[in-house]
């Protein structure tokens, strides 16, 4: 059965809530009383449960199978995390509640902050960024603040071509010019070219490590040294921190700022596109500029919230607030639960298994799919292939859609941009060998068909809730909301 | 370990296939000096669910949760009863553990839900279109200011004194780096004052103004008619950006879109999401259709599949960072999908009928509470018009009063002293929010405790 | 992707729990230490979540669509009920905890008991029966106890042919002989025949009202009077109480005992086959024999638990305990939540809408399907059809399997036994008119094909997780557990 | 109302189709005298979620939940930590809101899960086959006695003194009506006594005995070797019925099936289900393959579909009430499907490795606790061998001690006086269960409180 839109039903009189009759009072709405219907359909609880349950079944999810989206880190989301985040002591407290009544919440923030700093070998952490890109913004604002404080007006940020789109977008969003750094043939940042470009106009570099080709930047420390030497700062995109957590500390590589996607490395759920959470660890040089608010442990063991009021004395260099309230508390409880569950030995095993799984995929496919950096050393947590060798007219997209028919979510397509028809596969550590073997078998079958030019593949997917969807048509004349002729009157 | 399916036997077999002698061989590209020899220092080893649950529960118990106390906090985050089915539905693995719908053929659940969300938000705000969510209200507000800059090609934004001070603070942070000019002010606590700075705003709009940003209901709880402001903005070629931090209000009052706002942003937390100590929340973003290509964030749209069946996809991604990179309308990538779903499910359960009833209940409760609290000797009600939140002017500084009430187990409101530290004129202000979760006894408890505090 | 059995994997070394190392102690197992592996495969949490999530998707459920199983009452299960049952104050208390520490739990039992007695107009209620059939047992034991107390050794229970199978089975299970009562042509108990059979050997009758043909037993009061006159008791099968709750009180019809399926009338979930809960309301005559334990309200407002210890003084006639502990507490919290949610007006509306929905189905189909008692008055909560008029070789089973392909769960098939090829349809009150219209359309289509002799229908279902399953083969050589050649050794 | 989708407009349209003037016309067959005119007296009108939740939460707070206190209660219901994923999975709508799998093509999820459950139970109990669950351990125990009667065509059952007294009580209730003869006894509290009444049982078996019913670990926590008893039963043509109320024990000790039991029944609550004040629980039932047609309850079995694909169905239903009616093996219909699923999910998460580790932890904790508590002056440990539960003999009546401990917030155990009221010889008995959820501090708290009680 197809599930229609809530707007396509005659449901403007229904409601799924029972509310008492409001007492009669003389209203004080100042003449602003609503005088037209809003146009919101209502469903009773049985209908709503059915509507959303049916919708949910049109989705693929980690709970259903491997979700090998490179750079997205779709790992298992532990259910204990969900349970802890829903404890009323965490879920039902107000962000402006008196600080004495939320000491447990501040302790969670402080404890998570402590482990993030420890795991990264950095100096401090800004907890309030709301997602990875927001964390990037935080890091770049800290860099700009540091330069401002030094009276420098450097205006350029260097970014490798293989960077996530958020890197250049963020740099631009806070007023920087963006220039690309070239890569070496083996898929890494070209140290010589980078060094050559450094100069008094360069505020810093944004580097992803492990990078989006799935490779560790061997020269990271040298890059950092060169950038520092030239008066710049090093921002590290931490989206791939899950490959090295417990084995490598970015602080040891000279990084000045790095965001940590709690929804990647630390297993908080992606939820169909968020919420994320992007705390930013900072070096000693950048720590003074960290945003408000933050949590400070006091001598008596209690916690204090440093906000605008006391920032003047406690934290005079702060570049200010970058969101209302304190960040993604619900994600903090989940991430802390995850860190404590895994512990030091577990987190190290996490990155080892993530890297092992990726290399297993790489070496189980590189005879059939072109691995452009297959000779550049082991991959880290993700394996990269190109579309070279496919039959005329067959593309990465065909392979992706073919995988859907085999029961798998496709890999990341066409990213990074530096590889033609890129396919970026990140299995994560929470996949079993049996699941990987099944996936490898399916991908080999589909890749074989694409190499052989099996025309049927171009019609894939055939067994999904929808056949191939026309994205061009959608963009040509965008329909972004439901429109109906006349809204019915709201019923009483 | 419970989340790691590989056995040692698996690991050996896999290393053999790879042709590596040990796991360390896979980390050869990490310079020797950067390799950690052993486990992270100080972090204990892995722990059982029971042990972790004990630790986290101990921390949770150190908080006074809203359900344990008479509760009147608002100022941008509101406590409403969320039906149990909302949380049940958003926890379905197919929603919880799916990704941004990049492969639409197997993500129709998320996409259709987002399309419904967009339509609900657009209708609630009285706008043509809405996006698939932002991080929260405060970041959505800044995004609206930058969008107005792109649309008008001007860089001066006038912020109402009634705009949430955190939102102002964020805008100031960003403007310092982007070069936008901001004209801001602090609210007026004089009882009987119009409650907003409409006159100041009307006067300030000029040919360099990109937008006026006004919150309704505002930080003090005032509600105001924005129509004249909208007209003046349009006359001067500026946009009116309206901010809604309590969308339940729109069940009772006219939407900003109906009053002429060009961009309406808001905090969606109060519908479906819960307090969560400030996050995750969900930013709402709606605007006129003509500006859609300047809009930030993701958009779900309608299309058809190869068989001609209707389906949904992410669309207009040429505005977005993963395509446009440094030329994108925003750097936002991950948004607040699951919170948007919670918002949408709750609003679907409410429907027109339920939302209106809920709004009526909130207003009736707030009016009764305001009248009761204004009877406390020395206390004055600042607001003329309000929805479910109003401001009291106390005869003494409100911050210590709030703390003292908390010691008695009463979460009595937000002091303006906390939001505007150092503004002596506002120190007596106490903002009180009254939703359907506050009972008449709760109000009476607060009134008596407040009386005792003020008399003390 | 097909989901294999947990036993078909190489998973004997894995576990989805982390437990600390046990301290070394000198064991005191008396030489009984296990010395052979058990043979239990383990899955890590990601694997287990995926296994059961995938399995779940092979199921149809109310959350997915109409589930019109006659006599089974598949109505919506409110999520508030689930939330309330999981409050630690209810879910995490021990049945033998000191009575002072469980006063809230006893209050729930007492409050629910009060409303069940009120809604049925009876005298008392036994709360401990675990399900409907267990409730029947309770009722019959009360009847036997009453006869025993009166020195009577009546040995026969009369049961209509249309009764649920549990009725005769229960009567036999507690030592009674079962005799059938004939029905009238209009589908109701034949009062004259029943009266004629009554006599000194008849302990009682078991009647379902509304009966399993979906009809209200108009003569119920007269039946009760006749049975009482003859020295017997009336047991009413309460499975269909949902048709009359709030409108009719069985106590007013002379019933002596009736079980109430909390998982039907009061919306607790069926869970793929239980748990149920079957409290039994009792008349004044039978109340003295109610089983132990029960909850008694005390003068001070507190609650006392009457168990074996005090039964002698408080409740000397009790026939004793019929289960460990106090019954299905988890279902009590759900049912009470439901009753309070609906209230007096809501419960009345429930039965009205249930009956309205059933009559709507009946009158929307009776031109195409034979309704054997279509002229016997309105149906109550369920509509009954026979297979008359189907093409040669086509059966009720074909219609059922055809409905699966239309996206619906089939109705109850071949029950009640009194109607040839019976199809018993119970929509319940939680279905919308739109859902009913869709279902009616689907059933009309399938019934039309069965009347026309469309051979393709015999191959249905084609779009379910499985085609028609061979139940005969399963019973011929039953395979009830997985067997593998050699169990691997348990790993450390 | 939130659970009722029909609107008044729908109702009118539907009545019109039916040809009825009003809803009352559909109730014409109810005699006038039996019709209620208005709503049920005394019951309030429908209420909001918020109001209902408040009421229920208030009642829940009047209970002292196990998580709030040092907790040592057992005697047939055990507190173990249940992984969060168990509850998540059983709440999936497809499991929670499905029915008994009468239409197997669209119920493979439930059927496969039950087949896995049956296999797990059979292996855990050391039997050939198991059914798809009963209501609970106590009713499963009575079903086993009646099954032994059918198999042996004899009607005398000998019950061990160590059998849970509620199970005995239930059997006595039923036997009074069925005419079965029961030979029962009460346990012996002498410290150092063998802990079970093996000698009595061995002596009592004769040619009229249908079965011997023995619990292991028994009500006092003793564990015993059943092999000799099994041999004697078989020699005399009787069946050995073993009862397991703490299945976690089988991670450490040999299963009854391995020791020769013919039927093994049990209470599955301790794995996956939780305490729930006594219900719903899940009865486990396993036996030798040759008796399968005398088994009560539902069975899932393997078959193939029309395409030859493996699938699962309910089978051997010719034993069941809906087919056999008064000739059925039992009257059971609804069983405990969802609890069986919870049991199975938890056991799958544990696996062989986890169950053994869990059992070790329980045993080690119980041994340490027994040794500590036996040091309390005047207290004697009754047991020689035990698993995670043992019995202390106090120098005074245990019931008031338990109540007094509860007043101090300690749930210290189950007094035998509660289970065997009126048996003076047992009044000093306190049964203490120690699972992984009890910490060493909890044990110390209990020991000190017990010492204070006894000294008082």
D330 and D414 housed in the same domain: no
Are residues B63 and B309 in contact, defined by beta-carbon separation less than 8 angstroms?
no
pLDDT for res A492: 38
Taking alpha carbons only, the member of D301, D316, D259, D279 closest to residue D139 is D279
- CATH number, position B388: 3.90.1150.10
Residues D241 and D366 in one domain: no
**Model confidence over A95-149: pLDDT tens digits?**
999 999 999 999 999 999 999 999 999 999 999 999 999 999 999 999 999 999 9
| Amino acid A12: pLDDT | 85
Is the pLDDT score of B327 beyond 60?
yes
d(CA B387, CA B389): 6
**Do B257 and B371 belong to one domain?**
no
Subunit partners of chain A (3 or more CB pairs within 8 A): B, C, D
Residues 422-451 of A with CB under 8 A from B: 429-433, 435
Residues 415-434 of A with CB under 8 A from C: 430-432, 434
Convert the pLDDT of each residue in C207-230 to its tens digit: 999 999 999 999 999 999 999 999
* A18: nearest CB among D2, D9, D93: D2
pLDDT at position C489 is: 47
Closest CA to D216 of D240, D190, D183: D240
List subunits contacting chain C, requiring 3 or more Cβ pairs under 8 Å: A, B, D
Q: What are the tens digits of pLDDT across the range B271-308?
A: 999 999 999 999 999 999 999 999 999 999 999 999 99
Q: Is residue D393 pLDDT above 80, yes or no? A: yes
Residue A451's pLDDT is 97
Per-residue confidence (pLDDT) for residue A490, from 0 to 100: 42
Segment B301-327 mean pLDDT: 91
CA C109 to chain centre: 20
Q: Which of D299, D326, D344 is the last residue of a domain?
A: D344
Burial, A326: exposed, middle or buried (Cβ in 10 Å; 0-12, 13-18, 19+)?
A: buried
Residues D329 and D389 in one domain: no
List, in order, residues 6 or more apart from D371 with CB less than 8 Å away.
Answer: none
Regarding whether B225 and B263 lie in a shared domain, the answer is yes
Residues constituting chain A:
492
Task: Give residue B407's domain range.
Answer: 350-453
Q: Which of D317, D344, D371 is the last residue of a domain?
A: D344
Which chain D residues are Cβ-neighbours of B437 within 8 angstroms? 50
Dump pLDDT digits (tens) for D27-72. Answer: 999 999 899 988 888 999 999 999 999 999 999 999 999 999 999 9
Q: Is A377 left (phi over 0), alpha (psi -120 to 50) or beta?
A: left
Instruction: Kindly state whether residue B123 falls inside one of the protein's structural domains.
Output: yes
Task: Note which residues in 47-106 of chain D have CB less than 8 A from chain A.
Answer: 47-49, 51, 83-85, 88, 93
Q: What is the mean pLDDT of residues B27-54?
A: 93
Confidence check: pLDDT of B238 > 60: yes
In the stretch 70-109 of chain C, residues with CB closer than 8 A to chain B read: 78-80, 82-83
Q: Give dist(CA C320, CA D410) in Å, integer.
A: 31
- The pLDDT value recorded for residue A11 is 76
How much is the mean pLDDT over chain A? 95
Q: Across the interface, do A175 and B179 touch by the CB < 8 Å criterion?
A: yes
Report chain A residues whose CB lies below 8 A from the CB of D48: 17-20
How confident is the model over A317-338, as a mean pLDDT? 97
Confidence at residue A47, expressed as pLDDT on a 0 to 100 scale: 97
Q: Is C103 in Cβ contact with D62 (below 8 Å)?
A: yes
pLDDT at B107: 97
With beta carbons less than 8 A apart as the criterion, state whether D258 and D202 touch: no
Query: Do D304 and D356 fall within a single domain?
Result: no
Q: How far is CA B415 from CA B164, B374, B426, B456, in A?
A: 13, 16, 9, 18
B324, B344, B364: which is the final residue of a domain? B344
Cβ neighbours for C337, distance < 8 A, ≥ 6 positions apart: C78, C80, C81, C84, C85, D52, D56
Nearest residue of A to residue C433 by CA position? Answer: A10
Which of A16, A79, A80 minimises the CB distance to D2? A16
User: Which CATH number belongs to the domain containing residue D88 in this structure?
Assistant: 3.40.640.10
From CA D5, how far away is CA D8, in angstroms rounded? 10
The verdict on B125 and B250 lying in the same domain is yes
Task: Tell me if D434 is assigned to some domain.
Answer: yes
Report the pLDDT value the prediction gives residue A21, as an integer from 0 to 100. Answer: 94
CB-nearest partner of C46 from B3, B83, B84:
B3
A177-184 long-range contacts (CB < 8 A, ≥24 apart) are A178/B325, A178/B326, A181/A205, A183/A418
Q: B83 to chain D: which residues are within 8 Å by CB? A: 2, 49
Q: Are residues B301 and B370 in the same domain?
A: no
pLDDT at C491: 40
Q: Both tokens of residue C453?
A: 């002799």
Decide if A348 touches C, using CB distance below 8 A.
Answer: no
| Contact call for C63 and A45, based on CB within 8 A | no
Chain C stretch 156-195, residues whose beta carbon is closer than 8 A to a beta carbon of chain D: 164-166, 168-175, 178
Query: Both B339 and B305 in a single domain?
Result: yes
Over residues B3-19, mean pLDDT: 97
Query: Can you give the pLDDT at residue C60?
Result: 98
Best CA proximity match to D134, nearest among A270, C338, C274, C206: C274
201-230 of B, contacting A, C-beta below 8 A: 223-225
Q: Which residues share a beta bridge with C298?
A: none
For residue C177, report the phi and psi dihedrals to the nearest 5 degrees: -85, 145
How much is the pLDDT for D149?
97
Please state the separation of Cα D112 from the chain's center in Å: 22
- Say what the ipTM of the complex is: 0.97
Average pLDDT of the segment spanning A226-253: 96
pLDDT of residue C490: 42
Q: Is residue D431 part of a domain?
A: yes
**In chain C, what residues touch A438 (CB-CB under 8 Å)?**
1
Per DSSP (E only), the strands in B202-358 are: 209-215, 239-244, 263-267, 283-287, 300-304, 310-314
The conformation of residue D93, written as its DSSP 8-state character, comes to H
Question: What pLDDT does residue A174 have?
Answer: 86
Residues B253, B391 within the same domain: no
Give the up-direction half-sphere exposure of residue D39: CA atoms within 13 A in the CB hemisphere. Answer: 15
DSSP state of C338: H
β-strand pairing of A202-208 with A156-160: parallel
Which candidate from D49, D88, D436 shows the least CB-CB separation from B84? D49
* D3/A79 Cβ within 8 A: no
pLDDT at D160: 97
Confidence band of A491 (pLDDT split at 50, 70, 90): very low
Instruction: Give yes or no: residues B257 and B190 share one domain.
Output: yes
C481 strand-pairing partners: none
- C202-208 and C257-259: which strand pairing? unpaired
Q: How confident is the model at residue A485 (pLDDT cuts 50, 70, 90)?
A: low
Q: How far apart are CA B273 and CA B282, in angstroms?
A: 8
The total of other beta-carbon atoms located within 10 Å of residue B396's CB is 13
- Taking an 8 Å cut-off on Cβ atoms, the answer to whether A63 and C53 are in contact is yes
Taking CB atoms and an 8 Å limit, are D92 and B88 in contact across chains?
A: no
- The answer to whether the CB atoms of C47 and B84 lie below 8 A apart is no
Confidence of residue B264 (pLDDT cuts 50, 70, 90): very high
Whether C202 has a pLDDT exceeding 60, the answer reads yes
Does residue C368 surpass a pLDDT of 70?
yes
Strand, helix or coil at C409?
Answer: coil
Paired sense of beta strands C280-282 and C124-126, if any: antiparallel
The number of folded domains in chain D is 2
pLDDT value at residue B431: 98
| Mean pLDDT computed over every residue of chain B | 96
What pLDDT, in 10s, does the model give residues C463-487? 999 999 999 999 999 999 999 755 4
Q: Are residues D128 and D145 in the same domain?
A: yes
Which of C199, C247, C194, C245 shows the shortest CA–CA distance to C222?
A: C194
Picking from A2, A4, A46 by the largest number of C CB atoms within 10 A of its own CB, the best residue to mutate is A46
Q: Tell me if D382 is assigned to some domain.
A: yes
Q: What is the pLDDT of residue C182?
A: 92
Q: Which residues of C touch B83 (CB under 8 A)?
A: 79-80
Residue D323: pLDDT band (50, 70, 90) is confident
Question: What global pTM score does this model have?
Answer: 0.97
pLDDT, tens digit, 9 for 90 and up, residues C346-356: 999 999 999 99
Is A346 near chain B, with CB under 8 Å? yes
B395 located within any domain: yes
pLDDT digits (tens, 9 = 90+) for A450-463: 999 999 999 999 99
Q: What is the pLDDT of residue C485?
A: 58
Measured distance CA(A417)–CA(A437) in Å, rounded? 28
The pLDDT score that the predictor gives to residue A487 is 47
The predicted-structure confidence for A342-364, as pLDDT tens digits, reads as follows 999 999 999 999 999 999 999 99
Q: Are B351 and A40 in contact (CB under 8 A)?
A: yes
**Would you call D153 an interface residue with chain A, using a CB distance cutoff of 8 Å?**
no
Please tell me the distance in Å from B200's CA to the nearest CA on chain A. Answer: 20
Alpha carbon separation from A255 to A164, A199, A210, A351, B321 (Å, rounded): 18, 18, 13, 20, 24
Average pLDDT over residues A72-83: 97
Confidence label for C174 from pLDDT (cuts 50, 70 and 90) = confident
Sheet holding C423-425, edge to edge: C383-385, C423-425, C412-413
Q: Do B34 and A327 touch (CB under 8 A)?
A: no
User: Mean pLDDT over residues A224-230, rounded?
Assistant: 97
The per-residue DSSP string of C123-181 comes to SEEE----SHHHHHHHHHHHHHHHHHHTT----EEEEETTS-THHHHHHHHTT-EEEEE
From chain C, the residues in CB contact with D39 under 8 A are 246, 343-345, 347-348
The verdict on residue B440 lying in a domain is yes
- Using one digit for the tens of pLDDT, what is the confidence trace for A201-225? 999 999 999 999 999 999 999 999 9
Length of chain C: 492
Token output for D427: 């009044």
Establish if B422 touches chain C: CB-CB under 8 angstroms.
no
Helix, strand, or coil (residue A448): helix
- Kindly determine whether residue C45 and residue A79, on different chains, have CB atoms separated by under 8 Å: yes
- % of chain C beyond a pLDDT of 70: 98
Residue B304 lies in a domain: yes
- Tokens standing for residue D52: 């209902």
Give the tens place of pLDDT for each residue, B385-412: 999 999 999 999 999 999 999 999 999 9
Nearest to B16 by CA among A440, A433, A442: A433
B94 lies in a domain?
yes
- Interatomic CA distance for residues A115 and A266, integer angstroms: 12
List Cα–Cα distances, A241 to A124, A384, A419, A436, B35, in angstroms: 17, 17, 22, 22, 14
Q: What pLDDT is attached to residue A1? A: 72
């Amino acid at each position: 059965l197809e599930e229609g839109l809530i707007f396509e039903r005659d449901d403007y009189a229904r409601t799924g809530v029972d509310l008492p009759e409001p007492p009669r009072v003389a209203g004080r709405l100042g003449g602003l009383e609503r005088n037209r219907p809003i146009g919101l359909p209502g469903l009773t609880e049985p209908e709503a449960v059915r509507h959303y349950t049916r919708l949910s079944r049109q989705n693929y999810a980690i709970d259903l199978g491997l979700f090998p989206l490179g750079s997205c880190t779709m790992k298992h989301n532990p259910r204990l995390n969900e349970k802890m985040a829903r404890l009323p002591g965490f879920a039902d407290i107000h962000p402006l509640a008196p600080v004495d009544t939320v000491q447990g919440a501040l302790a969670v923030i402080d404890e998570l902050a402590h482990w993030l700093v420890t795991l990264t070998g950095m100096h401090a952490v800004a907890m309030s960024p709301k997602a990875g890109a927001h964390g990037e913004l935080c890091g770049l604002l800290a860099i700009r603040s540091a330069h401002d404080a030094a009276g420098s007006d450097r205006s350029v940020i260097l970014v490798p071509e293989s960077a996530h789109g958020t890197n250049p977008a963020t740099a631009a969003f806070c007023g920087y010019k963006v220039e690309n750094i070239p890569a070496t043939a083996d898929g890494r940042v070209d140290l010589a070219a980078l060094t050559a470009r450094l100069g008094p106009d360069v505020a810093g570099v944004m580097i992803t490590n492990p990078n989006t080709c799935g490779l560790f930047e061997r020269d990271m420390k040298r890059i950092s040294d060169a950038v520092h030497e030239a008066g710049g700062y090093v921002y590290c995109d931490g989206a791939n921190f899950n490959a090295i957590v417990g084995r490598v500390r970015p602080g040891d590589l000279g990084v000045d700022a790095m965001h940590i996607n709690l929804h990647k490395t630390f297993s908080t759920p992606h939820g169909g596109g968020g919420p994320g959470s992007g705390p930013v660890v900072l070096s000693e040089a950048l720590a003074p500029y960290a945003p408000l608010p933050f949590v400070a442990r006091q001598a008596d063991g209690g916690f204090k919230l440093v906000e605008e009021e006391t920032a003047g004395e406690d934290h005079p260099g702060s570049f200010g607030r970058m969101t209302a309230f304190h960040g993604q508390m619900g994600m903090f409880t989940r991430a802390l639960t995850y860190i404590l569950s895994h512990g030091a030995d577990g987190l190290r095993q996490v990155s080892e298994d993530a890297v092992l799984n990726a290399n297993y995929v790489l070496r189980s496919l590189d005879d059939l799919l072109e691995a452009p950096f297959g000779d550049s050393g082991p991959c880290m947590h993700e394996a990269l292939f190109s579309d070279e060798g496919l039959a005329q007219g067959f593309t990465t997209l065909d392979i992706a859609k073919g995988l859907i028919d085999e029961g798998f979510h496709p890999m990341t397509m066409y990213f990074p941009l530096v590889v033609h028809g890129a396919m970026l596969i990140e299995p994560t550590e929470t996949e079993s060998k049996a699941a990987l073997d099944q996936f490898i078998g399916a991908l080999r079958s589909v890749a074989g068909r694409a190499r052989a030019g099996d025309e049927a593949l171009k019609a894939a997917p055939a067994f999904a809730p929808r056949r191939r969807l026309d994205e061009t048509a959608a963009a040509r004349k965008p329909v972004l909301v439901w429109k109906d002729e006349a809204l019915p009157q709201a019923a009483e | 370990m419970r989340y790691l399916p590989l056995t040692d036997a698996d690991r050996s077999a896999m290393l053999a296939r790879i042709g590596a002698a040990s796991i360390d061989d896979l980390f050869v590209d990490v310079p020797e000096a950067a390799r950690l020899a052993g486990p992270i220092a100080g972090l204990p080893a892995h722990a059982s669910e029971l042990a972790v649950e004990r630790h986290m529960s101990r921390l949770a118990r150190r908080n006074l949760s809203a359900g344990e106390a008479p509760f009147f906090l608002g100022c941008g985050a509101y406590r409403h009863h969320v039906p149990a089915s909302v949380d049940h539905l958003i926890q379905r693995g197919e929603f919880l553990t799916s990704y941004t719908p990049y492969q639409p053929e197997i993500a129709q659940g998320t996409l259709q839900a987002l399309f419904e969300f967009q339509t609900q938000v657009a209708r609630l705000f009285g706008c043509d279109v809405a996006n698939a969510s932002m991080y929260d209200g405060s970041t959505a507000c800044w995004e609206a200011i930058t969008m107005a800059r792109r649309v008008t090609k001007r860089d001066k934004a006038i912020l109402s004194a009634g705009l949430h001070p955190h939102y102002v603070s964020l805008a100031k942070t960003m403007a310092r780096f982007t070069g936008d000019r901001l004209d801001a002010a602090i609210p007026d606590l004089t009882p009987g004052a119009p409650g907003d700075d409409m006159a100041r705003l009307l006067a300030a709009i000029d040919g360099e103004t990109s937008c006026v940003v006004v919150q309704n209901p505002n930080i003090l709880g005032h509600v105001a008619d924005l129509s004249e402001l909208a007209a003046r903005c349009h006359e001067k070629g500026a946009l009116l950006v309206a901010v809604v931090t309590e969308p339940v209000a729109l069940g009772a009052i006219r939407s900003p879109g109906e009053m002429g706002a060009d961009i309406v942003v808001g905090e969606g937390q109060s519908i479906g999401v819960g307090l969560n100590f400030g996050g995750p929340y969900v930013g709402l973003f709606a605007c006129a259709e003509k500006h859609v290509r300047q809009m930030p964030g993701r958009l779900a749209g309608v299309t058809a599949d190869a068989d001609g069946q209707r389906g949904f996809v992410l669309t207009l991604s040429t505005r977005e960072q993963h395509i446009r990179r440094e030329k994108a309308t925003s750097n936002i990538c991950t948004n607040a999908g699951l919170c948007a779903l919670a918002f949408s499910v709750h609003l679907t359960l409410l429907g027109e009928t339920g939302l209106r009833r809920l709004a009526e209940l909130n207003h009736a409760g707030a009016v009764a509470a305001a009248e009761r609290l204004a009877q406390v000797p020395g206390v004055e009600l600042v607001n003329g018009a309000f929805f479910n939140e109003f401001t009291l002017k106390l005869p003494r500084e409100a911050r210590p009063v709030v703390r003292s009430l908390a010691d008695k187990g009463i979460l009595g409101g937000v002091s303006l002293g906390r939001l505007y530290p150092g503004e002596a004129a506002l120190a007596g202000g106490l903002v009180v929010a009254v939703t359907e979760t506050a009972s008449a006894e709760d109000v009476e408890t607060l009134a008596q405790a407040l009386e005792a505090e003020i008399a003390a």
